[in-house]
Chain A
């Protein structure tokens, strides 16, 4: 708790006071935390292995064995291409793995979200109350504003969509952001005070 208080207060002080030694300490601390967190990197591998092994223990079929081995094959593919080729993670070999698998799956995950957003709206966008109508108005009008066909044939949808976004959305969003920020600050102050229960529980 003392370490948290000292490091935290130093960082806050560096924000308020432009004193060179304090800024120096801030620079050192921020570079240290990058190293500390990066050094914990293998921890993830340990937990990945624990849960993979447990899943295999539960179901010792050949198919499950294939599922269990698969992550390690791709793990090795990535690691070898980063370590064995000149340029490391900038090598064309690593970029091949990165682009075709990592980036590509990432882009597809975003694509899938269209469908989940659509089905959730089918379920919840019902004109059942003032609040629901407000939700639908904010959602549907701005959606139509972004579709070229509606921009052409219902031109007034463009200013109306923009208005929803820039006026009521801004007002509501601002209030919500301020409320959440205050709550975050209170947790922060309590943490530096040494009274954050979560950290006490976790030792």
Chain B
């Protein structure tokens, strides 16, 4: 319950934050929903926390040049309820609504969740399906990586010491696109046993675009490429959903815990994948 001692800094600007992080011994604190519980269990013991929660220009949701830019400290609650996202990138709102519980959604941030890279967190599935970009701020300026490249492994990203996730960029979705985030919840922790995010676009009754991101299943979130390919150019019917769903877990070395073995996890991914595809198809115009 009681953390180790640490020092605390609360910069007002991103530049100041980057300066504070430059010595490498500090850790970024955003909403703290992952970090603080770990510190309370003494599994994490940073020497210094740099609280970026008050940096005003990290909290925004805005549309620019055909894309939606999301500041790192935007909370899950903000994402869940943003009218802009709800109309132009509803997959992300739907995903945010599945995270934790109302109190966690009030405090937890997009940037914090993404940087923590929990293999059972919700966003990675959607950010992969959305082909999102991550803008990383560092001492020598910003760099942008695709979200797929951002996640390296369980709890591991390309973030270097001293860097901060500045923003996430997601595309403006065509209003005719179908989407779905389907999640099997671990009943104790609320994390995803499996989470599947879908974006589908139909053209003339055939599937013109399909993006599927999967979280919770493996050591890191991934794109279900085989399932996407199976959908592409196929007809938008329930059989297609089932066939493609069956491919979602192909070749996956699945995780296990008290609630789901690897085999069952893979099975859930297939079943819920098919269900997610069916929902997304029904939403697509």
On whether the two chains bind one another, the answer is no
